Amino acid sequence: MDRNTLVAVILSTIVLAIGFYLQTALFAPEEPLEAAETAENLPAETETSADDPSQDTNQQNADEAEDPDFGDETSTGSEISGEGFNLNGREFIALVEDDREPVERTVEYVQEDFIRIVMDTRGGNISEVYLLSHEDQGEPLEFFFGEARHKGLNLRLGGIDGPVLDPVFYFRQGSADNSYEFYRQIIVPGQEDAPFEIIKRYTFLPDEYMFEMEVELRNSVNRIVPLDYNGTSYTLSIGPQIGPEFQTLSNTSRTDFRKYSYLDGEKRKDIRNISDGERRNLDTYSPWAAVNGKYFVAVAVPGNTGSDIVFGAEPTDDGIQGSQLHLLRPAVESSRVTDTFRFYFGPKSTDVLRSYQNADDNGFGIRELNIDVLMESSWIGWLEKILKGIMNFFYGLIPNWGVSIILLTILVKVLLYPLTRKSYESTAKMKELSPKIAAIKEKYPDDQQKQNQATMELYQKEKVNPLGGCLPILLQFPFFIAMFSLFNNHFDLRGATFIPGWITDLSSPEAILSFGFSIPLLNWDALRLLPLIFLGTQLLSVKFTQPADTGQSSGQMKMMTMGMPIMFFFIMYNMPSGLLVYWIFQNIITTGQQFAYNYFTHKKNTRKA
């Protein structure tokens, strides 16, 4: 490089450096305001127009003028018309556009006999969701319940403790009939020349419990959107509680529950131990998080927004246990951003949840979301699926889930009868040896070692396995676990009637008399007939299946065999009706098999004699 070229390069570098320095010093970009530590909601009162309920929503949409795309030109007149509000200690003004006040009203997306979603122009939030194909006490199931103002899916500027964004938004129909947009221009005092816009866009698809929500933030100038509250721009919150509605959730009742779930790899992880009023940050990455009930679930899919997930258990104003889920979106670092979230508010049905595994099975083209792991199952889920398929087959033949449970119970008992018979045979042989074992105990009353040695020699001589009666029962144990889990969690049993007027919901306890109060400690609020029938059949089954014992432990054995059914009576009292129907008929069939075996064995021995 020659001398002149080198001098030119050095001088150019110096000039550029001085130019950048002067530009930074004299024309520094305005930094976003910092958030105050305290949060106080002081929204200004504003007059709003009442929506005529009789007017069709689509007609209202058509009456509203189509707004030009925001961001091309901005009016900066000296007088600003708008609605002032205070969020997290910062003042904002929601602008009135073209002298047209936004209308406070609700907008609905309805698919007949499927779902009804109510959106409110105040804040542009989803305030109510009704699952029209599922009932709660004879009415369409309301998916959210609790505090009216903060119910459903709402947005807060800043963190969780910030007040819900509630200025009235403008509404317009999206580019498609199933798209709904709520928008409002907002300015920060002192930055009147730079209003920014918040757009909330919802997209619903037919026969989908999942929907898409876009949150678009765009500044009118090439500056970062001024939303930064200690590193958070806004929070999406769902809650305060998912349905069906309840007063209390008993720790001993298996009729319903609430827990928090997320995906860790390919497995579901559950969080149950969040105390009332406590919050729990999810400190690991998960593609989704959920408020998980027994039959219904709210799932939030943050996509690639980088949102932090926080679970909450804050009680509602009326004291109901709360279960909240928050998505905290990090501070925006550009003048325009569009975040896409997806939410599932619907039933825990295997077929529905599994549709998000294959892109061709759902309208959004989602694949491998793995929300089907939210289904409750035992550690032998494969066997549970087989039994569920058989029960569904029986329901196809006789459309009554109670009858399907009985038929499945009969089929399983018949298939397992060879194992049951071996258990009966081993028990009968042990019963024959009882006098000889008693004689050994009398012969060596004070020498336990000799008793055991002589007893084992007797077993070898008579070719009897003392565990022969237990092993067949242990082999049946996986079926018991699978059926217990199936009848306790099968979604189709919810609201299913077995016997009209008595067993009207196989997923809940039946009652023949309501007390009108709850018995302390036991948590019994009604007289139930199925647990009493269960106790009777269990005692009858024990009487036929347990052998007589002539030894010294006969009293203890009798106490145990009588005490176990009574203990299970207390455990099963508030269990779902479907589970009790299964267990009652299992006891009846077991007793019948034992009676038949004893009868034919006695008849056979009589002939030999």
The confidence score (pLDDT) of residue 404 equals 96
Residue 184 CA: distances (Å) to CA of 102, 105, 123, 181, 554: 9, 15, 9, 10, 81
pLDDT over threshold 70, residue 9: no
User: Residue 174 — pLDDT band, cuts 50, 70, 90?
Assistant: confident
Residues in Cβ contact with 190 at an 8 Å cutoff, skipping those fewer than 6 apart? none
Specify the range with the lowest mean pLDDT, choosing from 26-30, 285-289, 426-430, 495-499.
26-30
Mean pLDDT (whole number) for 521-544: 89
b (16+ CB within 10 A) / e for 440-460: bbeeeeeeeeebeebbeebbe
Q: Which one has a higher pLDDT value, 441 or 231?
A: 231
The confidence score (pLDDT) of residue 535 equals 94
User: Residue 81 — pLDDT band, cuts 50, 70, 90?
Assistant: low
Residues in Cβ contact with 39 at an 8 Å cutoff, skipping those fewer than 6 apart? 87, 88, 89, 158, 161, 162, 163
**Alpha carbons 387 and 381: distance in angstroms, whole number:** 10
C-alpha 352: how far from chain center: 14
Secondary-structure percent of the chain, ordered helix, strand, coil, rounded to 5: 35, 25, 40
Mean pLDDT (whole number) for 602-607: 73
User: Residue 23 — pLDDT band, cuts 50, 70, 90?
Assistant: very low
Mean pLDDT (whole number) for 222-239: 91
Residue 436 CA: distances (Å) to CA of 426, 430, 450, 550: 16, 10, 14, 10
8-state DSSP, 159: S
Q: What is the pLDDT of residues 440-480, one digit of tens each?
A: 888 888 888 888 888 888 888 887 777 766 766 777 788 88
Mean pLDDT (whole number) for 386-408: 95
pLDDT over threshold 80, residue 605: no
Would you state the torsion angle of the CA atoms of residues 554, 555, 556, 559, taken in this order, to the nearest 10 degrees? 120
Walk me through the domains of the chain, giving residue ranges and CATH numbers. 83-374 (2.70.98.90), 381-608 (no CATH)
pLDDT over threshold 80, residue 73: no
Specify the range with the lowest mean pLDDT, choosing from 103-107, 394-398, 445-449.
445-449
pLDDT over threshold 50, residue 420: yes
Cis amide linkage into residue 240, ω under 30° from 0: yes
DSSP labels, 97-140: BTTBPPP--EEEEEETTTEEEEEETBTTEEEEEEEEEEEETTEE
Helix (H, G, I), strand (E, B) or coil at 204: coil
C-alpha 262: how far from chain center: 10
Q: What is the pLDDT of residues 109-133, one digit of tens each?
A: 999 999 999 999 999 999 999 999 9
pLDDT over threshold 90, residue 67: no
Q: Which one has a higher pLDDT value, 503 or 521?
A: 503
pLDDT over threshold 90, residue 286: yes
The confidence score (pLDDT) of residue 212 equals 97
The confidence score (pLDDT) of residue 545 equals 66
C-alpha 585: how far from chain center: 31
User: Residue 436 — pLDDT band, cuts 50, 70, 90?
Assistant: confident
pLDDT over threshold 80, residue 551: no
